[in-house]
Amino acid sequence: MNLKIIILALIITSFSLSVTAVNDTIIIRNDDSTERIERDLDSLLNNWFIQMSTARSAISFPDSVITEFSDSVYKDRISRINSVITLTYNNIIRNHIQVYTDKKVDRFQVMLGLQEYYFPMIEDIFDYYGLPVELKYMAVIESALNPNAVSRVGATGLWQFMYSTGRAYGLTINSVVDERRDPVKATHAAARYLKDLYGIYNDWILVIAAYNCGPGNVNKAIRRSGNRKDYWEIYYRLPRETRGYIPQYVAAAYAMNYYGDHNIRPVGINLPLAVDTVVVSRDIHLEQIAAVLNLPLEELRALNPQYRTGLVPGRSKPFAITLPVDRLGDFIAMTDTITGYKQEQYIARVSQASPAQHSVYSPPDVKGKTQLTYVVKEGDNLGFISEWYDVGLSELRYWNNIYRNTIRIGQKLTVYVDPSKAERYRKINSMSFADKQKLEGKVTATVTGTSSVSVSPAPDDNTFELYTVRYGDTVWDIARKFDGVSATDILRWNNISDASRIQVGQKLRIRKKS
């Protein structure tokens, strides 16, 4: 799978790893990353969380906090955390533990309150993807569990996705909706990204490091360290920020499990733990809902942080609104009243932004190249097309404003080629799939003499039942509802090439159990 990876442009000075063992504790010198973490916690946990706390006075440094234990105690406690991810201990990790349990304990209290809301959701999604649920502690160091967090470089949301990475993993990002801030959708995207990274490294610690700085930087650190693949052996070859990332992860895991031993207590957060979603297909504003249902507007915004302006643009496509479960029935019963309430005032606020969402993309003008057009045919994919025209896959995406690998039959793609070879490339659009593959020296087994892609014959309707896609469904979710049915079966029965493209309301054929 081609990943959209954001590589941090950092200058990395080469060091030799300097490790000393003192009383079985690894000592790594020259670490100053905790100062940056302390600053980040202050910026990530902003006034939004202060407003959401049940008692502002509760966000204070408790007098009875135990700030430090001996190394042997830390080591023993960390060793008893249930985790398939290897959690080590050294002086850097001790320093990071003290950030949570001493220096920024007031901020940590808020995170403890928030984890009661976010962790069950994250655990459920990670378990679905077969990921270690303890990866949830990454959200603590990514965003301090703030779905509105924005980093200095523009990474956004609970999982701190950059724009292009979020788009690559199917998140909608525009001036009205930013699904990087949607805790559920962003966690699904993070899970898929983590699975992709594990396919590269087969080591969870390296996966966590690569999530922070990108596989390119981790691969570079491995090569420069003589192909060593232990995080602590490549430590000084990594970007400075990533050097502190694994220690932060271990420290967060420790603090979230043992905060009670430090006499730290969570701050209550005004977020209802029992919530549900309702899908709307019309424009509606959060302020309309708050006014008609008499709900606190800040609570609604906290439950739906992905709607930047407060507008839910349901007319463009169905969107989900998260509500306290005990108010869901009221919303359904009063939908017409809500959407009609001061409609001109609330809906007109973003009407001027609408044209930008539907603007036509103009491909760039590549100087010195000849522009050709290729019409997508059955059996094509972007990888094949880039090979046929001898262009980079990333270039093909850029020229055609494609953020994933999804293309459709009949779609016109712009391709820029060497003018001296333009006539050769111009013929490709009218060639058969087999002939195009021959250009690359590949022999293709054909079906019906025209295509290498097998198309399932139209099934007998009596052997199939229909399933209507609901909000939040994935092909894998649907397959689990039927005995003996796999996601691959569903894709094949419905001639779907991209599992992420199913839509709410779509009817899918599912073979009946014989």
Residues 186 and 222 occupy one common structural domain: yes
The residue among 300, 335, 357 that closes a domain is 357
200 and 283 inside one domain:
no
Last residue of a domain, one of 407, 439, 471: 439
Domain-embedded: residue 16: no
Residue 151 lies in a domain: yes
Q: Give domain status of residue 493, yes or no.
A: yes
- Read off the pLDDT of residues 181-200 as tens digits, 9 standing for 90 and up: 999 999 999 999 999 999 98
* Residue 198: domain span: 28-51+83-262
Q: Where are the beta strands (DSSP E) in 397-474?
A: 412-417, 464-468
Look up the pTM and report it: 0.62
Residue 388 has pLDDT above 60, yes or no: yes
Q: Quick one: average pLDDT of 225-229?
A: 88
Question: Same structural domain for residues 94 and 228?
Answer: yes
In a shared domain, residues 498 and 476: yes
Best CA proximity match to 497, nearest among 405, 394, 410: 405
- Both 285 and 236 in one domain: the answer is no
Q: Residue 308 pLDDT more than 80?
A: yes
Q: Are 425 and 293 part of one and the same domain? A: no
Q: What is the mean pLDDT of residues 255-269?
A: 92
Do both 290 and 400 map to the same domain? no
- The whole-number pLDDT of residue 474 equals 74
* CATH classification at residue 245: 1.10.530.10
Same domain, 138 and 189: yes
The pLDDT-based confidence of 322 (bands split at 50, 70, 90) is very high
Report phi then psi at 156, rounded to 5.
-135, 145
Which carries the bigger pLDDT value, residue 213 or residue 61? 213
Domain contains 3: no
Residues 91 and 218 in one domain: yes
- Do 115 and 182 have their domain in common? yes
**Minimum mean pLDDT range among 5-9, 89-93, 333-337, 441-445:** 5-9
Residues 6 or more apart whose Cβ sits within 8 Å of residue 469: 478, 502, 503, 504, 505, 506, 507, 508
Last residue of a domain, one of 262, 284, 310: 262
When divided into structural domains, the chain yields a total of: 4
pLDDT of residue 293: 94
CATH number at residue 482: 3.10.350.10
| 303 and 161 part of one domain | no
pLDDT exceeds cutoff 70 at 500: no
Enumerate the H helices of 202-244 as residue ranges.
204-213, 215-224, 240-243
Contact 270, 53 (CB under 8 A): yes
Tens-place pLDDT, residues 56-86: 444 454 557 888 899 999 999 999 999 999 8
> pLDDT, tens digit, for every residue of 105-152?
888 999 999 999 999 999 999 999 999 999 999 999 999 999 998 887
Question: How distant, in Å, are the alpha carbons of 65, 77, 251 from that of 72?
Answer: 19, 9, 15
DSSP-derived pairing of the beta strands 283-285 and 311-313: antiparallel
* Together in a domain, 163 and 285: no
